[in-house]
Amino acid sequence: MREKIFRDSVHNDIVITERVIYELINTKEFQRLRRIKQLGTTGYTFHGGEHSRFSHCLGVYDITRRIVQRFNTTYPHIWKSEDSLLAMTAALLHDIGHGAYSHTFERLFDTDHEQVTRQIITSPETDIHQVLCKVSLDFPEKVASVIGHTYPNKQVEELISSQIDADRMDYLLRDSYFTGVSYGQFDLTRILSIIQPLKNGIAFAHSGLHAVEDYLIRRYQMYMQVYFHPASRAMEVLLQNLFKRAKVLYPEHKDYFRMTSPNLIPFFERRYDLNDYLRLDDGVMNAYFQLWMTSSDKILADLASRFINRKVFKSVTFDEEHKDRLDDLRECLTAVGFDADYYSAVHYNFDLPYDIYRPTAKKPRTEISIIEKNGAIAELSTLSPLVSSLTGSTHGDRRFYFPKEMLNTGDLFNLDKQAFQQQIKNGHFNPKDR
Ligand code: CA
């Protein structure tokens, strides 16, 4: 095949040399990713963050392609060249099962994007599957096993899913570029020149230790500054409450939802198949929300309108030990006429920036290995005090969300945010205080 080039804002030229990769990009399932934003509601906070999963998937493919190319020429005795196409394909397809507003939708409708990813790859009815079968009949299963973490050669899996993999490397650079914040810009070129295959995994040369350190610090910064931003999470909880309201109304108002939001019916009725799932994207959802804005149900209409017009909820942080006192706050909402089920929410966001291998952990992590000058292999945090200080510790916060009208700007309560927060701590918040 003649080389195909996709111009890309992060990697400049993304080169496609394999026909199968090009055909996969042209399937309807992959083209659908153009209609799904990579960052979901984060674009409401960082307005440049409107890029699609399509561009991210191409980026992950490109980083993987550059790595396996180097492995093929520099480490032919450790890297099996026949795994190159498999690694590039799994990289390209790793997010194929993501849906519109994935994480919120999954919580409300019990879908699972990783499972859908494997389903799209292995189900004979998809175009993706048909293209993969042209490589070999067992190729779809192989790709699915890389994504399901069961492929025997761990080198391939770690390229796509580990603490420093092609997926994370692309999203940090891409999200940082499009959101306009610089925290995510690490030295990709350097990392790609020190990455090496090991017998059963991947490692990084000691000479590039600082580039790896820098990558982890920037990843940490992006989580704290961008991914966990309170306003993006406010849009997420708004969306969650909106879906919740629609779900509750559906049984009594089937005709209304058939008319305004037909593609959601299989999910309300909990009998969806793969095709139903693939019919949803950001545009479809946003059109439904606009139609719901005129619903005769005041809560549905109001939440939809708040979402479309970005009228975000406000929030305060709270400690786990004060969790019980949130009930008082919910009571306050009720006292002024807000239904607390739909006009408040609790949102937790925590991240583990780096961890060593702990066999007993719920999801044990593959640690980052560094190859020292004498050939010995060491775990990263034993060599870097900086990384060691981040290791094993979680960062993030819990927030209680409520309508802006509850603050003094909205006249309902003569309280500012600090006072609100203090009330949670003191635990004597009650409707009479206002
Ligand atoms: Ca991804």
Mean pLDDT score of the chain, rounded to an integer? 92
pLDDT tens for residues 197-216?
999 899 999 999 999 999 99
**Average pLDDT score over residue span 101-122:** 93
Instruction: Report the DSSP pairing between strands 201-205 and 395-402.
Output: unpaired
Give the pLDDT band (50/70/90) at residue 404.
confident
**Distances from the Cα of 65 to the Cα of 12, 18, 150, 164, 166, angstroms:** 14, 11, 21, 16, 10
115 Cα: distance to centroid of ligand 1 (angstroms): 14
172 Cα: distance to centroid of ligand 1 (angstroms): 10
**Average pLDDT score over residue span 311-336:** 86
This prediction has a pTM of 0.93
Residue 410 is predicted with a pLDDT of: 47
> Percent of the chain at pLDDT above 90?
82
CB 186 within 8 A of CB 215: yes
Give the pLDDT band (50/70/90) at residue 141.
very high
Fold classification of 240-350+396-433 is Growth Hormone; Chain: A; (1.20.1250)
Give the pLDDT band (50/70/90) at residue 240.
very high
273 Cα: distance to centroid of ligand 1 (angstroms): 23
Sorted by sequence, the CB contacts under 8 Å of residue 321 that are 6+ apart come out as none
Rounded Cα–Cα distance for residues 282 and 263 (Å): 12
pLDDT(425) > 70: no
39 Cα: distance to centroid of ligand 1 (angstroms): 10
| Residue 226, Cβ density class (10 Å: 0-12 exposed, 13-18 middle, ≥19 buried) | buried
Rounded Cα–Cα distance for residues 129 and 135 (Å): 10
60 Cα: distance to centroid of ligand 1 (angstroms): 8
Please report, for the chain, the start and end positions of each structural domain, with discontinuous segments joined by +: 4-228, 240-350+396-433
**Average pLDDT score over residue span 109-113:** 92
94 Cα: distance to centroid of ligand 1 (angstroms): 7
234 Cα: distance to centroid of ligand 1 (angstroms): 23
Residue 433 is predicted with a pLDDT of: 44
160 Cα: distance to centroid of ligand 1 (angstroms): 9
Count of Cβ atoms closer than 10 Å to residue 233 Cβ: 24
State the DSSP H helix or E strand holding residue 12, giving kind and residue range, or none if neither.
Answer: strand 12-16
Residue 405 is predicted with a pLDDT of: 83
Residue 123 is predicted with a pLDDT of: 98
Higher pLDDT, 366 or 425: 366
33 Cα: distance to centroid of ligand 1 (angstroms): 12
pLDDT(408) > 70: no
56 Cα: distance to centroid of ligand 1 (angstroms): 7
pLDDT(427) > 70: no
Give the pLDDT band (50/70/90) at residue 371.
very high
Higher pLDDT, 37 or 429: 37
294 Cα: distance to centroid of ligand 1 (angstroms): 36
376 Cα: distance to centroid of ligand 1 (angstroms): 32
**Average pLDDT score over residue span 84-99:** 97
> Cα 76–133–31 angle (5° rounding)?
95
pLDDT(411) > 50: no
Give the pLDDT band (50/70/90) at residue 412.
very low
171 Cα: distance to centroid of ligand 1 (angstroms): 7
Residue 430 is predicted with a pLDDT of: 45
State the DSSP H helix or E strand holding residue 379, giving kind and residue range, or none if neither.
Answer: strand 377-379
Three-state SS across 216-261?
A: HHHHHHHHHHHHCCHHHHHHHHHHHHHHHHHHHHHHHCHHHHHHHC
Question: In sequence order, which ranges of 252-379 are alpha helices (DSSP H)?
Answer: 254-260, 265-268, 274-278, 282-292, 298-308, 326-335, 340-343
51 Cα: distance to centroid of ligand 1 (angstroms): 13
> Percent of the chain at pLDDT above 70?
94
pLDDT(281) > 80: yes
Backbone angles phi, psi at 75, to 5 degrees: -125, 50
Would you give the DSSP letter of residue 434? Answer: -
**Distances from the Cα of 308 to the Cα of 223, 286, 355, 425, angstroms:** 25, 8, 39, 33
Instruction: Report the DSSP pairing between strands 369-371 and 345-351.
Output: unpaired
Residue 418 is predicted with a pLDDT of: 67
Residue 358 is predicted with a pLDDT of: 83
414 Cα: distance to centroid of ligand 1 (angstroms): 44
78 Cα: distance to centroid of ligand 1 (angstroms): 27
Residue 407 is predicted with a pLDDT of: 74
CB 431 within 8 A of CB 331: yes
Residue 167 is predicted with a pLDDT of: 97
pLDDT tens for residues 24-74?
999 999 999 999 999 999 999 999 999 999 999 999 999 999 999 999 999
354 Cα: distance to centroid of ligand 1 (angstroms): 18
Residue 342 is predicted with a pLDDT of: 98
40 Cα: distance to centroid of ligand 1 (angstroms): 13
169 Cα: distance to centroid of ligand 1 (angstroms): 10
CB 205 within 8 A of CB 196: yes
Residue 424 is predicted with a pLDDT of: 60
167 Cα: distance to centroid of ligand 1 (angstroms): 5
CATH superfamily of 4-228: Hypothetical protein af1432 (1.10.3210.10)
Residue 103 is predicted with a pLDDT of: 87
CB 364 within 8 A of CB 357: yes
pLDDT tens for residues 415-424?
566 666 666 6
Q: Which two three-digit tokens encode residue 93? A: 């397809």
Q: Which of 354-368, 369-383, 419-433 shows the lowest mean pLDDT across its residues?
A: 419-433
